[in-house]
Structure 1
C-alpha cells in the first residue's frame, strides 16, 4: 500500500515537472498511463500560469477541468490572466467553458480585475466580450474601473466605459473610500477625469475627500476641462439612464439597433474615440 502511494506521488511530481519544463512528449507519455483528476487539474493550472497553450489543450483533452480550483480558489483562467498574459490561452480556456466571473478566495478578484491590473487592453476586451462582469467589487470594493483609474491606465478606462461599466461605484484607496472620479481628480489626471465626466460620473458632496472641495471641483471642470457643469451633468445623466436599460452586453445590443447616427454616437460616447 505504501509503495503504491509513493508511486502516485512520484508520478505527480514527474508530470508537474514535465509541464513546468514545457516537455510535451513526457507529458503525453505520462498522460497515457493515467493520472488522477487532482493531478490533471494541478497540471492545467501550471500550464495556464506559464502560458503553454499546447499543454493546456493536451491536458483539457485528457480530462482536466477548466473550472478546477486550486491554491486559494484560483482557476486556470485566473492563473493565465494574472501571470502568463497569454491571450491565446485565455481565449482557449473561455472557449472550453471557463467561468469568466469566478473570483479568488482571498482578494475576491476576477480575471477582469487581473487583466486590468496588468494593463492588458486586448485581454480586457476578450473577457468583456465573453460576458465578464464589469462592476464586480473585490475585497477592497474596487471595481476593475477603479483599479484602472488608480493606475492611470487610460486605454483600460476607455474600454470599460465604452462597454457601459458603472462609473460611480466607490472602493477603498489607501484606506479611504473614494469614487473613480475623486481618484482621477486627486491624481490630477485630466484625460481620465474628462472621460469619467462624459460617462456620467457624479461629484457628490457626501463623497468629498478632505482635500477636495466643491468650489475646487467646479473650477477644475470649468476652467481646465472647459465643461459647463450643469448642462454636461444633465446631458450625461440622460445618456446614462438610456445606456443602463441596455445592460448587459451593451455594445452588442447597440450594434443590433437601428438608430439615427446622432443618437447612436451619443449613446456610444463616440467622443471618447477622438480623445486619444
Structure 2
C-alpha cells in the first residue's frame, strides 16, 4: 500500500509477486488501488488491476470514507492531468460511474468538488448521471454553482440534461447563482430554461436577491428581462429598499438610474432610501437624483428624526452641508429629542469649520434641545476640548442652565479624567462655578473626585 501510494510500481510488483495481498485495507478501508488512483499513478493502477485488484472496492464501515471507490478518489483530485488519465483508465475498465448507496458523493460530484472541469466533461460524455444527487440531496448542478465550478463545467452539465429547477429548501440553482453574484452562470441557467420570474415564499423576486448582493450585472439583466423594478415583497419592500438596507451603494445608484421609485413605501411606511446615506457617502449624484425625484431636503423619516443636515454636521462633511443649505435645508431643524445640526457638529466627528458654517448660516449658538441643553453641553458631554473652547470664544453662554437647572459645569465635573481641563477652559469665560440646579446642588456636589472639588473651590 505504501509502495502504491508513492508510485513505486516496481516495488509494488515485487511485493505482489512475493505474496502481498492487494485486497488488504488500511484503517480507512482503502486498498492499494485507492492510493494509486488518488495520486494519479496510472502505471501502478494498471499493474494492480492486471493483478486482480477490485476496481470498485470501497470501505463499508469507515466514518468518513464509506462507499468511496478508487474512481471517486481519483475524481476528488482531478484538476491535474495525471489523475484525469487515471479516471479515463478506470472508466475504460468498467469502474462504476455512480456512487454506491451509502457514499456521500458520486465520481461526478467528487470531480465538481475538486473543480476538475475536464473530468466533469469526460464523466458526462461517458454516461454519468447529471441529476444523481449527493447523499444530502444536492444535485451536481447545485453543487457546481455552490463550489465554484468554472462555467465550462456548468455548461457541460446543462448540455447533458441537468435539471435547472431542482435546488434545496433554500435556493433554486438560479437563486443560488444570483446570491453568489455569478452573472455568467445565471445567464446560462436562464438560457437552459430556468424560471427567472419565480417568486420565493417571502415574495422576493430575483431582482430583490440581486439587489442584496454586489453584482450590478444581474440587476441590469433582470430589469432587461422584464422583472418589475418596483416589485414589493411580503414586507412591502422593493429591490431598492433591499439594496439600501444592506448598504450596497452601487446597487442603489444603479436601481435609481434604471427607474426605481424612491418614494414607494414599505409596510412600515418607510421609504426605500434616505438622503442621509447619500450625504454620509458624500455622493452628490445620488443626492441630486433623490431631490429631483421628490425627496425633501429636510427629510427626517428615520428612527431618531434626524435630517440629512444633522448627518453632515455630525460627521464634518462640510461640502455636503453647504450643498444641503443651498438646496434649502433648514439649519435649525430639530430631531425627535430637539437636537439641531449645531448640536451634532460639536461632537468628536464634527469640525470647527462646520460649527462656524452653521452659525454663519443662521444657527443659534445657544440653541436648546428638548432638555434645554445647548451645543456647549454636548461638547462637554463628548469631552471635546476644541469645541468647548471654540463655542465659548464664539459667545456661547457657559452658565446656561438646562431644564433641570444644571450648567455645563455640572456635567463636566462628573468625568473623573477630563473635568479639570474642561473647567479650566470654561473658567476663562466668566464661569460661575457654584450655580445650584433645581435640586439645590452645585457642581461641587456632583464632583467625581476630591481633586475636582478642590479645584472648584479655586473658582469661587
TM-score range, shorter chain: 0.5 to 0.7
SS in 2 for 1:117: coil
CA distance in 2, matches of 1:6, 1:17: 12
CA distance in 1, matches of 2:359, 2:427: 22
Is contact 1:119–1:156 with CA below 8 Å preserved after alignment?
no
Aligned to 1:258: none
Quote how far apart the aligned CAs of 1:211 are: 5.4
Q: Does 1:113 align with 2:353?
A: no
Cα 1:97–1:203 shift into 2, 3 Å: same
CA distance in 2, matches of 1:22, 1:42: 10
Q: Which deviations, in whole Å up to 9, do the C-alpha atoms of 1:80-122 show, x marking residues without a partner?
A: 445x5533222211221111211112x2211222222334223
CA distance in 1, matches of 2:338, 2:296: 21
Aligned to 1:61: 292
Aligned to 2:376: 145
SS in 1 for 2:332: coil
TM-score by length of 2: 0.39
Aligned residues, how many? 210
Aligned to 2:391: 160
Cα 1:9–1:91 shift into 2, 3 Å: farther
Is contact 1:48–1:79 with CA below 8 Å preserved after alignment?
yes
Cα 1:211–1:91 shift into 2, 3 Å: closer
CA distance in 1, matches of 2:294, 2:435: 55
SS in 2 for 1:206: coil
Is contact 1:37–1:63 with CA below 8 Å preserved after alignment?
no
CA RMSD of aligned residues (A): 3.6
CA distance in 2, matches of 1:37, 1:133: 36
Quote how far apart the aligned CAs of 1:157 are: 0.8
Aligned to 2:248: 21
- Residue of 282, 305, 318 corresponding to 1:87: 318
SS in 1 for 2:324: helix
Q: Does 1:9 align with 2:241?
A: no
Pair member with larger Rg: 2
Aligned to 1:184: 412
Gaps of 5+ in 1: 222-228, 230-276
CA distance in 2, matches of 1:113, 1:159: 13
Is contact 1:115–1:123 with CA below 8 Å preserved after alignment?
yes
Q: Which deviations, in whole Å up to 9, do the C-alpha atoms of 1:146-195 show, x marking residues without a partner?
A: 121233211111221122122111337xxx75311343355463443233
Q: Does 1:36 align with 2:263?
A: yes
SS in 2 for 1:201: coil
- Residue of 419, 424, 429 corresponding to 1:199: 429
Is contact 2:256–2:262 with CA below 8 Å preserved after alignment?
no
CA distance in 1, matches of 2:434, 2:329: 39
Answer 1 or 2: which has greater helix percent: 1
- Residue of 59, 69, 78 corresponding to 2:310: 78
Cα 1:60–1:155 shift into 2, 3 Å: same
CA distance in 1, matches of 2:229, 2:323: 34
SS in 2 for 1:67: coil
Quote how far apart the aligned CAs of 1:59 are: 1.9
Is contact 1:101–1:110 with CA below 8 Å preserved after alignment?
yes
Aligned to 2:88: none
CA distance in 2, matches of 1:43, 1:183: 34
CA distance in 1, matches of 2:343, 2:239: 33
CA distance in 1, matches of 2:277, 2:456: 51
Cα 1:17–1:95 shift into 2, 3 Å: farther
Is contact 2:280–2:312 with CA below 8 Å preserved after alignment?
yes
